[in-house]
Amino acid sequence: MARTTGSHSDITGPRIREVAMRLFAQHGYAAVSMRQIASGVGVQAGALYNYTPDKQGLLFGLMREHMEELLAARAARDVPDDPLAQLEDFTRFHIAFHMERADAVFVSYMELRNLDAGNFATIESLRSRYEDELEAILQRGVAVGLFSVPDSKIATLALIAMLTGVNTWYRTGGRLSVQQVETIYWDMVRKAVAP
Amino acid sequence: MARTTGSHSDITGPRIREVAMRLFAQHGYAAVSMRQIASGVGVQAGALYNYTPDKQGLLFGLMREHMEELLAARAARDVPDDPLAQLEDFTRFHIAFHMERADAVFVSYMELRNLDAGNFATIESLRSRYEDELEAILQRGVAVGLFSVPDSKIATLALIAMLTGVNTWYRTGGRLSVQQVETIYWDMVRKAVAP
DNA sequence: GTCTATAAGGTGATAGAC
DNA sequence: GTCTATCACCTTATAGAC
């Protein structure tokens, strides 16, 4: 039977992360207080500390979870054989994954400077692993003459910046579907690395 | 003769903007206090209010100044005749201008959400004017068959996101000069919009 | 697990002396 | 133009009752 007070450990934890992610994305980590988060969840501020050691830990947990989901979703994909198909797959995957998680993407980029040094290093290492996947695709394509890029590391960062930029303008319910956006960007990516 | 106290109106104003820009870029607007800014300048917090009505006005002034300098610098350039040369000029201009102003670029993007509604509208309108210049170049190029893009508005935002991304990795004194970076990105931009 | 109460300190902004 | 002092309020985090 329903209770309005008492134990709710299985739903309060996820609710805190959900509310915190939304508020951090909207106003920024430093601008959001633990009281605001608690109020959004429907508990008192003190209750939050049953789920996180402190505010920093809450932010870090959100960012690490996002990066790990990104790597897991990527690893779960069947990788095509040739570099061109791999690049198209990466492009479509990146856009679809990031468009569905606008808040997490925004927070994971904007709040890097608010992470403790150790937490920052952890997140950066996860991000590097993701970038390395794209760079490997580009390098294989260059090796077999399918692609030509001036510098594989810079091309990697340039393409990721371009693709993630979708998040600055795309709004669900607009004139374009996710697949249409994927196709538009894939056209530019394909040509950008063409020989 | 030198004074260690008293009036310094001609240097204190610029110093405040300089220190505020650096601290906002490093830690974020919400995380920086007026006392920290004052301490960086070498005055007491109360003195800041001779130069800005409030903290919000200080942020807005920095962002507006950045956007107006961007538009002025762009307007001061001789525009080549053909769209291909125009696109190369825009690419090189954008990279060089933004690489020299990493703090201002970072703040002007990251702190949009901390602007009052009216201030936000002003900055967004300045940003639109800049984006419109690139879109016009792309449209002219498409009209004469020099370029082919799936959607000129999306291509504009995609290219600007790619170019501004330089700021996430470039550090002065690294292995590449500004001109080398310009050339690397121009190669990708040129191909991305090729027919 | 959640609550209330509280500790210890920081916040933006202003008043009035110099 | 800058300083000191201050107001009213908000901050993170913890202690202990239930």
**Per-residue pLDDT at A1:** 37
Can you tell me the mean pLDDT for A13-25? Answer: 98
> Between chains, do A168 and B151 touch, taking CB under 8 Å as contact?
no
**A138 close contact with B: CB closer than 8 A:** no
> What phi and psi, each to the nearest 5 degrees, are found at residue B60?
-60, -45
**pLDDT mean over A172-192:** 96
The kind and range of the H/E element at B34 are helix B34-41
How far is residue A177's CA from residue B68's CA, in Å, rounded to a whole number?
35
The single-letter code of the amino acid at B76 is: A
Tell me the pLDDT band of B9, cut-offs 50, 70 and 90: low
Q: In chain D, which nucleotides are within 7 Å of a protein Cβ? A: 1-5, 10-16
How many Cα atoms are found within 13 Å in the side-chain-facing hemisphere of B132? 8
Is residue B3 classed exposed, middle or buried when 0-12, 13-18 and 19+ CB atoms within 10 A define those classes? exposed
Residues of chain A found within 8 Å of residue B28, distances taken between Cβ atoms: 28-30, 113-114
pLDDT band at B10 (very low <50, low <70, confident <90, very high): confident
**In Å, what is the separation between the CA of A32 and the C1' of D18?**
30
Q: How far is A7 from chain B (nearest CA, A)?
A: 34
Q: What is the pLDDT of residue B99?
A: 97
Whole-number percent of chain B with pLDDT over 90? 93
Q: Which residue of A has its CA nearest to B191?
A: A192
What is the rounded CA–CA span in Å between residue B105 and residue B103?
5
B42 touches B7 (CB < 8 A): no
Mean pLDDT of A115-140: 98
- Region A112-126 average pLDDT: 98
Residue B120 touches partner A, C-beta closer than 8 Å: no
pLDDT of residue A5: 58
Output the average pLDDT for chain A: 95
Considering CB atoms only, which of A110, A165, A185 is closest to B110?
Answer: A110
Query: With an 8 Å Cβ cutoff, is B175 touching chain A?
Result: no
- d(Cα A38, Cα A54) in Å, to the nearest integer? 13
Question: Which band of pLDDT confidence, cut at 50, 70 and 90, is reported for residue B183?
Answer: very high
Whether the Cβ atoms of residue B63 and residue B107 lie closer than 8 Å to each other: yes
- The answer on pLDDT for B2 being more than 80 is no
Closest CA to B156 of A162, A150, A157, A96: A162
The pLDDT assigned to A135 comes to 98
Per-residue pLDDT band for B1 (boundaries 50, 70, 90) equals: very low
Residue A48 reports pLDDT greater than 70: yes
* One-letter amino acid for residue B37 of the chain: I
Determine the Cα–Cα distance for residues B103 and B120; give it in Å rounded to an integer.
19
pLDDT (tens digit per residue) in B28-87: 999 999 999 999 999 999 999 999 999 999 999 999 999 999 999 999 999 999 999 999
pLDDT band at B3 (very low <50, low <70, confident <90, very high): very low
